Structure 1
Amino acid sequence: MKNVIIGTAGHIDHGKTCLIKALTQIDTDRLKEEKQRGITIELGFADLPNDMDLDIGIIDVPGHEKFVKHMLAGIGGIDIVLLIVAADEGFMPQTKEHFEILKMLKIKKGIVVMTKADLADEEWREVVKEDIKDNVAGTFLEGAPIMEVSSYTGQGIEELKKQILEMAAQCGSRREDRRLLRLPIDRVFTIDGFGTVITGTLMEGSVGTGDEVLLYPSQKKAKVRNIQVHGNTVTEARAGQRTAINLAGIKKEELNRGDVAAYPGLLENTRMIDVRIDMFDRTKRILKSGSRLHFYYGSAEALCKAVLLDQEAIGEGESCYAQLRFEEEIAVKRGDRFILRFYSPLETIGGGKILDAAAKKKKRFSEEAIASLKIQDEGKDQDVLAQIFLEESFRLGDLAEVIRKLGKTKEEAEELVDALLEEKTIKKISENLLLHKTYLSDVQSKAKALLENYHRENPVSSGMPKEEFRGKLGRLLRTEDQKKLELLINDLLQGQAVKEEAGTMSLRDFQVTYTEEQKKMADRLGAIYEKAGLEPPLTQEVAAGEKDPRLAGQILGSMHNRGVLGRLNYQYYMDAAALKSAIDVLINTIDRQGKITLAQYRDLIGTSRKYAVMILEYADENKITKMTGDCRVLYRQED
């Protein structure tokens, strides 16, 4: 069954509510005040019976200018609009405002219904028709049917119903994947014995009894106890249906009109979004950067400041890219449409499209930022995804975050991801971390510059200690995520931009070269260690014996990396040949007798306990031996 939502729009007292009653036999004015005053104040709802396997819901909106915000709460999720124009009055101010809103929300189908046809003669009705045609020229309603009806006499009602059904049958289906569930709440109430009930139009996705939903922006969880569609209890509701959901685990007081019931993790709370703003074709207001505005989205309203990114100000019919900064958290989705009204006087001026539903602060007139927004505004899905990857790469965002920003299902996004991988626009660093080639190039440039500077300042050092490299690279990349930093370093190593040797990082083609003086120093240092054998002096003491202790320390590190010296620990080097001989004795002895004590080993190599301990700890650290009780045995991987 296809689900279709129809909404009314038009000036006050042009017969919207009466028309719906004539079509459905349902009076959508349910409030006592509405009955007393004879005007619609709140949203009203009805369903249109038919035998065409169509589930058609109708939303009746207020026509009075004081209740535009209520109209906006219901009109956003419709498929077809009935633009109501009374035959005895024609296009009125509120008709024009509603029509501008409909255009801004990109409603694609509609019928112009000329009500109260019995109150105007044929000549006047023709004048009104021409006025209607002039007002809708060049819009989605140009060429749309103009149906003359009278809710009082029944004139044209059946013909209008037939036209509605034909148009509804042509509407496309909405996406019903449960992971896309999104229902902007337009009513909250309680029912004795059941508890909290919310109603709204299911924009996307589906929901079933027993499902868990997350309420945004409060982030409270609730469970679906019961579901009704058009007053009938069902086990599942789908996109495009007017739905009432009985929630367990949450109180009425914890919910408000404008909150969104959604699949957990679908949305993200934010105080900042990037948008394209389009001013109405008919507005006398000028929107300046920094203006305070009322922002209407779904069934909600929020206050924000508009920071225009590529203009100082815009007026009638003009557009710009902007960042909206909110006074409270909201939860929206990329691609959503919205309406803007001036803060004071409260006047509808335009609307637009959400480009980034959880944006970072941007500088005005930044060419990079404007180019990015242009791609997100006009680009194909693959181009937009590439741009999101680029921006999320600099934040090291996970794949799940990228998919959420795109607003697609996992499967839809994966197809686009595969295409970007194939063309090498992005690269898979780990299962959940895919990064843009531009970002990886930036990482490589920063890493190379870091090591070039280190080599320049430390010409005889074989490389920067890895932990120092990791820390400095992390600061350059503005991240403290050690796991992701390690992934980036591994990618640098695989790409052969850098190399790792003995716990140090260096440029791939870097090699230590000594000057004549440095060679002499290396020879002197080597002789010290060769003479010391198994009882070397402190590194600090050896370096202090040279005119340039810092340079001596670097040369010692270089000699270790070249295999001339072994490093027992951070305080002691040892002649590599002497160390190998001591290790050979250790291995051979254990091979013969199965184990060895510290005292036995000390006596075997003829040194003091201090040095015997250092050599044994070196053997343990390098998985040559391991402790068992007070003895050493050979390390066995299979153990």
Structure 2
Amino acid sequence: MSNIIIGTAGHIDHGKTALINALNGFEGDTTNEEKERGITIDLSFSNLSLGQQNIAFIDVPGHEKLVKNMIAGAFGFDYVMLVVSANEGIKPQTIEHIEIINLLGLKEIIVVITKKDLVDDEELKQKESQILAFLKEFNFEVKFIQAVSIFDSNSIESLKTKLFTIKNSIKQEENFFRFYIDRVFSPKGIGTVVTGTVLGKKCELEEKVFIPQIQKETKIKNIQVHNQNVLEANISNRAALNLANIDKNSIQRGDLITKKGFIRGFDEIDISFKCLKNKKLNHNQKYTLFIGAKKSEVKVLLFDSLTSLEDGFATIKADEKLFTIFGEKLILRNANETICGAVVLNPIIDPMKKPQKKVLLEFLEKRDFQNAYKELLIAHKKGLGIISSTQRFALSHEEAINFAKTLKDVFIDEKELVIYPNSTKEEIKRFIKNIYTKNSYALLSSSSIHLRLSWASLSFIENVLSDLVDENFLIKENSLYKNANIKEDFTKELENIFCERLKKEDLSPTAPYNIYDEMDIDRKLGDDILKSLTSKKEVIRLQHNIFIHNQSLNKILKAMREIIKEDGFIEIFNFKQKYDLSRKYLVAYLDYLDNFSDIKKVENKRVFA
């Protein structure tokens, strides 16, 4: 089915809600307050279908104090239905609504002149000319203009026919599903239900989705599109989603529903902005941010001015995390005044100084991702995640990898989805060379280096090690790398070093992994050396991380028997009085004593059997 969303725009009392009612019979003003005041206060949603075509209407309030609700609805529009009454023509909220629509990048306009029964034909033509002249300033594409009266059924039917000539949504499919919540409610026995407009990609019944504001994954239990249960909701569908195990009070209007792992939240984002005529954005001033159905108080920091600018780059600082993507539109207002529209250029905080950040934003504004990547790699020398390209550049993983392959002087780990600048190779080379210079008997693997340089992927480290082999600095034997200047097999030498070290450490031997790290040898090799020494009985394993030289063990066993002879028993207390060792070692030696048949354990004491 073809789905489009048409949103109303226009001044208060120009007949937006009455027009929707005439088109599809939907009574938009349903709350007591709306009926009492005779105006639309919040958004209302309805639809009109013909065969395989469906039009969803978002009717917005026209009152100047309710523009915030109008903005929340406008983010979901495909097309704008500008409603202007024939008797009043263009009024202040007509202008503000159109300015907001323009700031949001919506260019497809349908013009409906209402209340044509209140003017004669000549005045109607004048109003039509005035409206079209006004719209020319904004470079809109006017699909058609139609004059109607809700009391003239022929004019309404003619408008319906023209509306159904519009076939497709103008929204582009993105890499993942997004859905800004505009209403939350909890019908009895149903659970939590949210409504919104489907963006990015479709969602399906039983699909797992994620609410980043509360960091919680949930499942879609039911989907309704225009009060009909469906298996999926497509882009530009107005949908109601029934969410599993979500408390109604834990989420609110403006929260985002999406797929887990695609969007991270930051309390800063970078934008490019353009103000309305005769308006300026002030540096270090607070504004109200509108993005999707979300409203948030923020501070704006300009890049190129300490006073004010009509257009340029700025950083938005919020008191909460903002979950945005590259290219997303937003509005900034001051009290009841719309100041500017903006585009998210950098939705992710980067460790950059202001001059470098500005260079990045200039590239991003031109969609020059090639140079944007280069700037980011300067800031992210320890690797730039390709997965972040979905949020950073609105690229899929596959597109991001293919794009990364066009970059020069980089290493791409396709498995871990990380890009490293080749200059970082030199940093790892220096680190590895320093190890082998200090300890010519070092034997390392990519995994043992990864334990020390956790930011570097195994594939990247292996690539660096291969370079060092090509440079004749290292020799590879199986999965281990040794100093190329040492030709003999020094496994036996390492066994001797291990043995002598444990002998020297006596009753407080170092844990194996600490020895491996200090000696710069791979953990698997270290384990193999200890296995060899224990099989020869030169070293005894007391516990999984305690290995002791056999001479030291025999010495302590003899001493422990002397304590039993003197005190009639041995336990932690009298043992520690003679040997000031940590409890870990005392317990290990007492437990080992249990292996002998002439010793028995009575409660916590050991005595002769």
Structure-1-length-normalised TM-score: 0.70
Task: Provide Cα deviations, 1:215-248, integer angstroms capped at 9, x if missing partner.
Answer: 1311122221211111111121111101011122
Describe the shift of the 1:76–1:116 C-alpha distance in structure 2 as closer, same or farther (beyond 3 A): same
Distance 2:428 2:21 in 1: 71
**Equivalent residues of 2:382, 2:455 under 8 A apart:** no
Match of 1:189 among 177, 185, 190: 185
Equivalence for 1:431: 415
1:49 is paired with a residue of what secondary structure? strand
Describe the shift of the 1:336–1:481 C-alpha distance in structure 2 as closer, same or farther (beyond 3 A): farther
Match of 1:338 among 330, 336, 344: 330
Equivalence for 2:588: none
Distance 2:140 2:484 in 1: 82
Equivalence for 1:62: 61
**Equivalent residues of 1:400, 1:432 under 8 A apart:** no
Q: In the alignment, is residue 440 of structure 1 matched against residue 422 of structure 2?
A: yes
Distance 2:530 2:441 in 1: 25
Matches within 5 A, 1:146-545: 146-154=145-153, 156-166=155-165, 168-172=166-170, 174-175=172-173, 180-280=176-276, 282=277, 284-315=278-309, 318-342=310-334, 345-360=335-350, 362-364=352-354, 366=355, 368-379=356-367, 383=370, 386=373, 390=377, 393-409=380-396, 413-421=397-405, 424=408, 426-429=410-413, 431-436=415-420, 439-441=421-423, 443-446=424-427, 481-482=453-454, 484=456, 487-496=459-468, 500-501=473-474
- The AA in structure 2 aligned to 1:434 is V
Distance 2:210 2:106 in 1: 28
- The AA in structure 1 aligned to 2:367 is G
Describe the shift of the 1:361–1:151 C-alpha distance in structure 2 as closer, same or farther (beyond 3 A): farther
Distance 1:430 1:214 in 2: 26
Equivalence for 2:511: none
Distance 2:55 2:428 in 1: 60
Q: In the alignment, is residue 81 of structure 1 matched against residue 80 of structure 2?
A: yes
Describe the shift of the 1:619–1:320 C-alpha distance in structure 2 as closer, same or farther (beyond 3 A): closer
**Equivalent residues of 2:262, 2:388 under 8 A apart:** no
Q: In the alignment, is residue 25 of structure 1 matched against residue 15 of structure 2?
A: no
Distance 2:85 2:199 in 1: 30
Describe the shift of the 1:44–1:385 C-alpha distance in structure 2 as closer, same or farther (beyond 3 A): same
Distance 1:396 1:333 in 2: 21
Distance 2:255 2:324 in 1: 10
**Equivalent residues of 1:620, 1:626 under 8 A apart:** no
Describe the shift of the 1:387–1:48 C-alpha distance in structure 2 as closer, same or farther (beyond 3 A): farther
Give 1:279 shift: 1.0
Equivalence for 1:91: 90
2:257 is paired with a residue of what secondary structure? strand
Describe the shift of the 1:33–1:487 C-alpha distance in structure 2 as closer, same or farther (beyond 3 A): same
2:206 is paired with a residue of what secondary structure? coil
Distance 1:429 1:219 in 2: 28
Task: Provide Cα deviations, 1:593-635, integer angstroms capped at 9, x if missing partner.
Answer: xxxxxxxxxxxxxxxxxxxxxxxxx999669956436489xxx
Task: Provide Cα deviations, 1:409-432, integer angstroms capped at 9, x if missing partner.
Answer: 4xxx31442353256464224611
**Equivalent residues of 1:560, 1:566 under 8 A apart:** no
Give 1:559 shift: 13
Distance 1:623 1:267 in 2: 47
Distance 2:92 2:15 in 1: 16
1:125 is paired with a residue of what secondary structure? helix
* Sequence identity percentage: 29
Task: Provide Cα deviations, 1:151-172, integer angstroms capped at 9, x if missing partner.
Answer: 2333622222222221x21544
Give aligned pairs, total. Answer: 507
Describe the shift of the 1:73–1:314 C-alpha distance in structure 2 as closer, same or farther (beyond 3 A): same
CA RMSD of aligned residues (A): 3.9
Describe the shift of the 1:620–1:310 C-alpha distance in structure 2 as closer, same or farther (beyond 3 A): closer
- The AA in structure 2 aligned to 1:23 is L
Distance 2:187 2:321 in 1: 29
Task: Provide Cα deviations, 1:92-115, integer angstroms capped at 9, x if missing partner.
Answer: 111111111101111131111111
2:405 is paired with a residue of what secondary structure? helix
- The AA in structure 2 aligned to 1:135 is F
2:222 is paired with a residue of what secondary structure? strand
- The AA in structure 2 aligned to 1:28 is G
Describe the shift of the 1:113–1:262 C-alpha distance in structure 2 as closer, same or farther (beyond 3 A): same
Give 1:174 shift: 4.2
**Equivalent residues of 2:495, 2:529 under 8 A apart:** no
Give 1:185 shift: 0.6
Describe the shift of the 1:394–1:325 C-alpha distance in structure 2 as closer, same or farther (beyond 3 A): farther
Task: Provide Cα deviations, 1:473-521, integer angstroms capped at 9, x if missing partner.
Answer: 99xxxx9752616654433333459765499xxxxxxxxxxxxxxxxxx
**Equivalent residues of 1:388, 1:406 under 8 A apart:** no
- The AA in structure 2 aligned to 1:494 is S
Distance 1:481 1:92 in 2: 64
Describe the shift of the 1:54–1:388 C-alpha distance in structure 2 as closer, same or farther (beyond 3 A): farther
Give 1:571 shift: 10
Give the unaligned 5+ runs of structure 2. Answer: 477-482, 499-524, 540-609
Structure-2-length-normalised TM-score: 0.74
